[in-house]
Amino acid sequence: MAVSVRLPDSIRARLPYLLSRAYQRQLVLFAEHTRELDVSGREYAVMLLLEAHERLWQSQIAEALGLDRTTVTYLVDAMEKRGLAARQRDPADRRAHVIALTAAGTALLAELAPAVRAARDELLAPLSEPEQEQLRDLLIRLNQEPV
């Protein structure tokens, strides 16, 4: 193999590069720490959403998480097949499916918590506690949509 090439500062110090690196690393760490529980980041997001709201239409899940309706159909298919979520027709509007976590889903969510914490801690390890807080605050403000 030829001599390795140093990544120039014109890339290394760029925000897009830094963000994509941090994001990729987060994906890898989440996957590593939750491997034996076999849950995608998206499924985890759905579970957190259902933990907070308990009963939601698929369309509400799609809107809240910024997903396509069809994507949610596939997601819920998989979660239902694994017994993590249950689908019911909404008697009040028979077009809609109401989704809720099952007991198994709630249990898995509890199992996931320490793994997710460990992944986050590993990601943030290079920073001190106050710096971690600072980073979170800055990212929250960065993501604030202009009103």
Partner DNA sequence: TATTGTTATACTCTATAACTATA
Partner DNA sequence: TATAGTTATAGAGTATAACAATA
Q: Which does 23 bind (CB under 5 to 8 A by kind): DNA, a second copy, none?
A: a second copy
24 touching DNA, by CB under 7 A: no
Q: Which does 95 bind (CB under 5 to 8 A by kind): DNA, a second copy, none?
A: DNA
Q: Tell me which residue of 77, 82, 51, 79 sits closest to 64, measured CA to CA.
A: 51
Task: Pick the piece of the chain touching DNA (CB under 7 A) from 10-18, 52-60, 104-112, 119-127.
Answer: 52-60
C-alpha–C-alpha distance, residues 123 and 29, integer Å: 7
Q: How many CB atoms lie within 10 A of CB 25?
A: 13
C-alpha–C-alpha distance, residues 33 and 117, integer Å: 9
DSSP 79: H
Q: Which helix (H) or strand (E) holds 104?
A: helix 103-124
C-beta of residue 101 within 8 angstroms of C-beta of residue 84: yes
Range 36-55, binding a second copy (CB under 8 A): 41, 45, 48-49, 51-53
Range 65-124, binding DNA (CB under 7 A): 68-74, 76-77, 87, 93-97
- Give the residues lining the site for a second copy (CB under 8 A): 1-8, 10-11, 13-23, 25-26, 30, 41, 45, 48-49, 51-53, 56-57, 59-61, 63-65, 93, 96, 120, 123-124, 126-127, 131, 134-136, 138-144, 146
